[in-house]
Structure 1
Amino acid sequence: MSKINRTVVRNERYRKNAISVRERHNERKNEVYSNPDVLLEHSHNNVIFQACEAPTYAQKFDRMVADGIVSTRGLKPDAYVFDELVFDVNTDYFETHGGYEYAKSFYAEAYKLAKEIAGGEQYIISAVMHADERNREASDRLGRDVFHYHLHVVYLPVVEKQIRWSKRCKDPALRGTVRETVMQVSHSKKWPMIPLTDEQGQPVLKKNGKPRLVSSYSQLQTRFFEHMQQAGFTDFERGIQGSTAQHLDVLEYKVQQDRQAVTMLADQKRQLQGQKKELVSQIGAISGSIRDVQDIEANAKVKGVLEKRVELPPQDYRTLCEMAKASGKLLAENRSLRKQLEQSRMRAQDLRQRLERCEVRLAALREETAPYREAMRTAPQQVQTFLLGIQRRQQAEQQLNRAQRRQRAKGQER
């Protein structure tokens, strides 16, 4: 079953008090992950294109504001001050082009685009290619560990802003002129809303006749695709422009993948059934020639019982040979199609069972985590502080247990 290689890039926005969640994921600061396919023993393969010089993303942001690199003038306290680009291509694309080394060169080129989008590397807080997230489906299919390579780039969305002298300036000549130019942090100005267009370039209208607006980063798919094509990376298609799909968590993604696999198998099953019907019709056409075969048999002359030979006219002999060859070929094709159809049925049944299990797990997880998600929505900083406290206590208990085990071991050696 062939797969389409497709580039994907998305841009997410974060408030300052919520960026630590992304930081712990990107920088692998957690000891345990909800995604069981994150294998920390392989994290040394992650490629860092830009390291955060400060202990945290938030502290790096504060330093840049204090040093005058960026300005927060006019920002509300709960403004979005961090953006994150996630560049991605499906796993099979890298596996067919060399794997890890090819992925490093691919995302090195993608990082060049990220620097252009951010307006310069000085505005990038962190950029890391993850190479420690195992692709379960590809690993099971190929019989070895296969990893899903993708790039996270956290940056500050800045735009150039001119500060002008006000009318209250004592010098009339300066009033209205540019006093200074600053790089203002502003997600809304970095990514303004633009009219959504269809495939023909025509604006998509709402029911009231007004144009439907989307964030300007919806054009990132085209920009990413064209940039990588021009750099020599090919054999993939561009992502879907104007998609409103939100980023799914790992379990939701796997549920979606299973649904797609079931759909693809259903399509394949329908194709096989169509081919089977075509073969049946061909066999029927051959069966329609039975009368000709009977006529040939009636006209055949048997020389003798001992010789057991049949004399046929040349045209009848050629007709029988052609029908015998066609019949053998069709029987072989029919057996092959029956086998493929049975395999597809078994595969579809297995995927439906996996899909049901995943949906049950997802529903249970959503129910269990509902209070946590509501708490994160209303008071993210307090929840993070609480969780960090629990994590520190667990680490302290682990260190104490290790120290006690070492002491007991030393006592036994004596």
Structure 2
Amino acid sequence: MFKNISVIDLSTGIAGPYCTKILSDLGANVIKVEPPEGDITRISKPFFNTPGNVNQSIKFSFLNTNKKSITLDLFTSSGLSLAENLIRTIKPHLIVENYGPGGLQKSGLSFETIQSINGFTSLVSISNFGSTGPYRNYKAMEINLQAVSGLMSITGEPDAQPLIAGADIAQLNGGQVAALSCLTYLYKSILTSVGTHADISLMEANIDLLENWMLGAFQGQLMPRRGKRHQSGFPSEVYPCSDGYVSVNASPGPWSEMAELMEDTSLDREEYHERSSRPKYRDQIEPLMTKWLDKNKKKEIFHGAQKRRLAFSYIANARDLLESDQLIDRRFFSNIGTNTHPGTPFKIESTVTDSKEAPSLGEHNQEIYEDLLGIQQDNIRTLVEEKVI
């Protein structure tokens, strides 16, 4: 479905490359244009084998599967000319960038310039706060994005300080939103033959994740952090067990199944069955539950509860996921090169099944500059010497 779609990826870091990773995993032809020193994530820890090697970063490897890499300094006259030639030659459907508001324009490659070269190319610009507004030029890293978008305000225990999520959720979610925007504007350009300039704010992309917290604020209600507890009643929270942690929820099965699972008839009292009144008996129920949980292992608890239609799960770490029979059955993980990678979180015919590992820095310079654009080798050597590529 996407094998005839071409994308130029001018982005660095996480959000932009994750956006184009989704597109490349769908089969799009993505050319990653990196500065001569490489994308910043090429030096991000940890590394597969050789620390500091620009081709060994695990983060870069994850974010850039199925792409081609060329090096190019856009902020030189020769670099701008090459970029324009590349756009003219491959006629990309999409260009993704995250130089910040006005950043790409400083190179001379504005949306208007792109349109004059190829009218149906859409430009997707990703920035921390969007291209307008008083924050447009403010700087932000992952922790700042989680803070300013409100995510940290709902993460952690109610009576403790806010916490940052373990993953780069603000940037990864922003990348997903950008990918959805790419598909939307791609569809529009196919229908109208006219490209669009999309303005993606990572702050705004993540405010959507606040759901009822945000809607409550509109009604004058500031909802507190829930910590390890969920709003769906009691019990619906995280508890320790003999080899880790489990999330416990007595729904949707009947309460009698809970008592049977935990092999304790004292849990099967009539007053415990009514969900709305059960929180009143927390001090009686919880000690009985934790006593049983402490003696059992997380995966045994998980499978035993699920057999009784109780919504339990175990807190999985990365090793648990690698060993998950569910993910193995669905062939979620794939071997790419010499490493194992998470697969795409969707199963459709157009996803790439023979994924290629992330490219080494400038791996496709010859293919693109010499074979595609027809630049002579002597000129390529000069461009290298001048640090244009």
TM (norm. structure 2) is 0.29
Higher helix share: 1
TM (norm. structure 1) is 0.28
Larger Rg: 1
